[in-house]
Amino acid sequence: MIGYEKILDELQRRSALHPENAETLALYGDLLAAQARVSVLPREYAAIAQIAPTRIERGLPVLPPEAFRADCAALAQLCDETCVITARHRADLRDALDALRAWLAQEHNSILAFAAEYLRDEGLGKAREIGLDTPLLGFVLNHALHPFLRTYAQVVGPFVDLSIWFRAQCPVCGGAPDFAALAKDTGARTLLCARCDFEWSFWRGACPFCECDDPDQQKYFASDDEVYRLYTCEKCGRYIKTIDLRQVADERILPVERILTIPLDLAARQVCAAASQPAS
């Protein structure tokens, strides 16, 4: 797995070519730098590798949410730092982030329970009940959990038989993808997990979320230079940003590409919203 140092170096290099997105790229650069400072020892997760082959054969991600482990103090600290960094770049979110910081500080003893709830995609009900911004909390947790889940992926990856895993969820942590690539040699599709950065193969003709393979429901739109594609599914209304590596000569790092293409997310949401509107 590509390390944080290389990701940060590449992001800094490529950011210079996109001054129009300087503030957004600076935010994500600072978040990655905070993640890189967290010390996570791979040997702490070695035991999980023992169950990898059996769970993969059963069609289950290796890491059950309830089995997730992390240094509670380090995870809580990174949650707080993620809020601080985001507020520094997004003043419009400062009040909501301050509310999250206060709540997370009060509930710091439950941080692993919140992590497991997030990994189970259960909606963070306790936070929602008291009126917190749960999508923003999900953003914070995703970034705070990243260095820990990346370490799980680093440890577990060699034990995952990717030849038998063609599913719409990450074989390591069960997360959904948020970016994809078409291979330079064959055009085969690789998905990138939004939570742990693990990469796995998936069919080109199927939605990487609901697995619908009806060609009438699957659309894609290419950028003018044909480097990037936006695949949409009219059945579930979701999308996946994709880089076509056949159209570039240099090496590309997928965690960097997901950040550089953030402006595409707005266009993607508009396309998906338009597709979901009933015909007049």
What residues does 156 pair with on adjacent strands? none
Per-residue model confidence (pLDDT) at position 44: 82
Q: Which two tokens stand for residue 79?
A: 């949650």
Closest to 73 measured CA to CA, from 105, 101, 100, 96? 105
Question: What is the DSSP-derived secondary structure letter of residue 238?
Answer: -
Q: State phi, psi for 192 to the nearest 5 degrees.
A: -115, 125
Per-residue model confidence (pLDDT) at position 214: 97
Tens-digit pLDDT string for the chain (280 aa): 899 999 999 999 999 999 999 999 999 999 999 999 999 988 888 889 899 999 999 999 999 999 999 999 999 999 999 999 999 999 999 999 999 999 999 998 999 999 999 999 877 888 888 899 999 999 999 999 999 999 999 999 999 999 999 999 999 999 999 999 999 999 999 999 999 999 999 999 999 999 999 999 999 999 999 999 999 999 999 999 999 999 999 999 999 999 999 988 887 887 776 666 665 4
Q: 159, 195 in Cβ contact below 8 A?
A: no
With H, G, I as helix, E, B as strand and everything else as coil, classify residue 178: strand
What type of residue sits at position 219? Answer: K
Q: First CA to last CA across the chain, in angstroms?
A: 49
Per-residue model confidence (pLDDT) at position 46: 87
Beta strand 189-193 with 199-202 is antiparallel
Q: Domain map of the chain by residue range?
A: 38-159, 162-276
Per-residue model confidence (pLDDT) at position 127: 86
Per-residue model confidence (pLDDT) at position 124: 82
Per-residue model confidence (pLDDT) at position 235: 95
Q: Distance (Å, rounded) from C-alpha 214 to C-alpha 19?
A: 40
Per-residue model confidence (pLDDT) at position 122: 79
Q: Is the dihedral of CA 172, 68, 31, 121 positive or negative?
A: positive
Q: State phi, psi for 55 to the nearest 5 degrees.
A: -70, -40
CB under 8 Å to 14, separation ≥6 — which residues?
256, 260
Q: Which two tokens stand for residue 29?
A: 């650069």
Question: What is the DSSP-derived secondary structure letter of residue 173?
Answer: T
Q: 181, 242 in Cβ contact below 8 A?
A: yes
CB under 8 Å to 204, separation ≥6 — which residues?
182, 187, 188, 189
Q: Is 152 left (phi over 0), alpha (psi -120 to 50) or beta?
A: alpha
Q: Distance (Å, rounded) from C-alpha 268 to C-alpha 274?
A: 10
Per-residue model confidence (pLDDT) at position 274: 67
Q: 170, 160 in Cβ contact below 8 A?
A: no
- CATH code of 162-276, in short, is 3.90.1670.10
